[in-house]
Structure formats: structure tokens, C-alpha cells
Structure 1
Amino acid sequence: MTERSARFALPLLQPGQAQKEVFHNEALNAVDLLLEAAVEGPPSAAPPATPEIGQCWIVAAGASGAWTGHEDRIAGWTAGGWRFLEPQPGTRVWDKAAGVWLYWNGSQWSDGSLPAAALVIAGRQVVGFRQPAVPSPSGGTTIDTEARAAVSSSLLH
């Protein structure tokens, strides 16, 4: 029986184990596919006809061929064939085709959005939690309908 790591089930070497290089290389292949992970495009149900070593895809629902039964996993092509890696909550991959991050939340892949509490650029928060809505202008002694219409039309409702 092969012991495996807790998060990504990488094979661990055991004392007195024969062919340690096989287990070590299998673990390195998995790390190579997961480290700074990138996929060729959005989730796909069918494996490509001519994958290149190192290319990865996310296996979509209804997978066929060699990908059958590996839905939501990262499928990576290696010199030894397909390797399937189960994502853990927080796993991110770069979708090369769309130019966006995909994020595994524990039950599904995101569509390119990443959860965040704020957006900080050069140490300055530029986007944060949504503030209360600005009310429409009212009151005052002088009514300027054009100004009020302009302000009202620019408010998000």
C-alpha cells in the first residue's frame, strides 16, 4: 500500500520500498502539473487528439474516452500518459485561452472570478465592500430639475 500526502495525494516514499524512483517521479509529475498550474482553455469533456507533454485541461461533466470518471479534475498529459489531479478548495489555474484565473471552491470551478475582500494597487485600496446607495437629490430652496436628473441618472439603482 502506498501512503499519500494529505492534500494532493502525492505518493510518499517508504523505508525499504522497491523502485523508489517510480514513486518519486510520479510525485514530481504531479507537482509539475500543479505548480503555477495553467490549463489550455475552459473545462472540456473530451480529451484532445494530440496533447503535448505538460499541457493540462479541466475535465468537464460528461467526460468521455480516457477522461471518463475524472470530472472536475485537472488532466495533465505526461510522458507516461494522462495524470488526473483532484483539486482542493483554493486551487487556482490560469485559463490560457481566456486569460483569466479559474478557482476551485470545493464543489465547482469558477468562471474566471476570484473571491476577494478588496482590490489593493500599490498599497492603496481601490475597490472594497459596496457602500450604501447614494440617495436621489431632494430638498433645498432652489429646484434645478436638470441637475437633479443628471445626478439621478448617474446613481446606481
Structure 2
Amino acid sequence: MPAIQGPNLGLNYGWTLGESGWNTGMDANLKKLDALIQLTVLSATSSVPASPTSGDRYIVPAGATGAWAGQDGKIARYNVDTWEFFTASAGWVAQVLNTGHRLRFSGSAWAAPEEVVVLETGSLIKDYAETVNATSGATLDRSTGGIQRLNLGANTTLDLSDLAAGQSVMYRVTGGATYTLSYTGLGAWSDGNVPTLSAIHYLEFVHDGVEVVGFDCGGR
């Protein structure tokens, strides 16, 4: 009898004992498991690489061309000499190696998870998505404490003077190829150097009980 497909990963099963031809479906199962378990991708924004290595995985960006044309949002895996594509389900999470960040599939698109985990307490704190005008200052309400995570425009001033002892704040700052940020209330950078900012950059500021210390978390 034809194999049944499972409702989650679409793996095949249900062959009659002794049935011939089941190896094709089982090979498809094993290839899918090999591609999707412990999902990490090299990039979610790259175009088709010229010289991929067998096992390389990517999230296909919108508008991809060439061998990835029409595969937007799918997981592309290069296997020996061909590209294989797998459709994600809502809630799947992938670690993106070239940025060091995770993306979650909503059912229609890949995006950064909406929640961050505070490991010390195990609680979940909702992200705050706030866009700050590039010409205005950024004075942020931290009355709720904990970790806040915001999107800021480039060439603005971050007012960190209200960050209380023991609190921290994370930023995803977006701008052009180069840009600058000014800081009010910042005591020092962790390594003593103001970071060189990239188009998308991640910063964290922590009040260590004495002063606000800035940490350069890198960017792309």
C-alpha cells in the first residue's frame, strides 16, 4: 500500500510488511532528517553560492534567482551535486551562523523571535519594538526592569541615564553602511573602545552597580 505521511515533518510510514519499493520513501525520510535536525544555516540573506559544499544549508531569501528561484522562505540544502528544498512549518527555529542569531518561522516569513529568555529566572520577557526617529533622542522607559530589546534608527542619541543598577538593555540598531550614535549616561565601554558600527549592529548596556557599561555584540 502507499506510504502514509506524518503530519509534522511529512515522514513516510505505513508500508505493508514485506512490501517492495519502500526504500525510496525511506531514503527521503533519512535525507529530510539529516537536513532538518539541529537546524543551522549559513545565511538567510545570501544569493546562491557559486561553490557550495555538500551539507551547506541556507534560508532562501525573498526574490531569489537561479537555482533558488521560486523557493522563497524554504530551507535549501546542497547535497552532493544538487539543491534540495524543504518547507518550514510555523514555529521552526534556525540558528544563522553568519550573524550568530536565531530566526523563527511564523508560517509565512522568518524573523527574530519575539521573546527573550532570562536564564537567571527562566521567565519570558516580551520584546519592545520601538522605532526612534533618526533626528530625535531616545529616552526609554525602563520602569518595568529586566531586559528590553528595541530597534533604533541610526544617528540618534541614546539616553542611558535612567538605567538602574542591575538592569540591562539590548539594542538592534539599523542604519546605512556607516553611522554614528551618541550616548548620554554611559560610563564606559567594556573594552575601552567605541565600536565601529555596521549596517545592522547589536549593542547591550548593563548597569553594574557603579556605572553603565556598554558591550559591543557585533553586527553585519
State TM-score, norm by structure 1.
0.69
Work out whether 1:154 is the aligned partner of 2:127: no
Partners of 1:13 and 1:24 within 8 A in 2:
no
Q: Show CA shifts across 1:32-56 (max 9, x none).
A: 1111111111233x32222111110
CA contact (8 A) 2:44 2:60 kept: no
CA 1:12 to 1:125, structure 2 compared with 1: closer, same or farther past 3 Å? closer
Q: Is the 8 A contact 2:91 2:106 kept in 1?
A: yes
Contact 1:56 1:77 in 2 (8 A): yes
| Matching residue of 1:121 | 119
1:47-100 CA-to-partner distances (Å, cap 9, x unmatched) read 222211111011112222221221100001113622111111111111111111
Q: How far apart, CA to CA, are the structure 2 residues paired with 1:12 and 1:126?
A: 39
Aligned partner of 2:38 in structure 1 is: 36
Q: C-alpha deviations, 1:1-51, integer Å up to 9, x for none? A: 65422123233352265332222121111111111111111233x322221
Higher percent of residues as strand: 2
**Amino acid of the residue matched to residue 128 of structure 1?**
I
Q: Segments of 4+ in structure 1 off by > 6 A?
A: none
Q: Which residue of 1 aligns with 2:26?
A: 24
Taking the aligned partners of 1:77 and 1:31, their CA distance within structure 2 comes to: 14
Report the secondary structure of 1:119's partner residue. strand
Does the 8 Å contact 2:54/2:81 carry over to 1? Answer: no
CA contact (8 A) 1:30 1:83 kept: no
User: Could you tell me which amino acid in structure 2 is paired with residue 115 of structure 1?
Assistant: E
Query: How many angstroms apart in 1 are the aligned matches of 2:160 and 2:45?
Result: 40
Counting aligned pairs with the same residue, the percent is 25
Find the residue that maps to 1:6 and give its secondary structure. Answer: coil
- Return the structure number with greater helix share: 1
Partner of 2:6: 5
Q: 1:133 to 1:91 in 2, by over 3 A?
A: closer
1:101 counterpart SS class? strand
Q: Which has the higher contact order (CA 8 A, sep 6+)?
A: 1
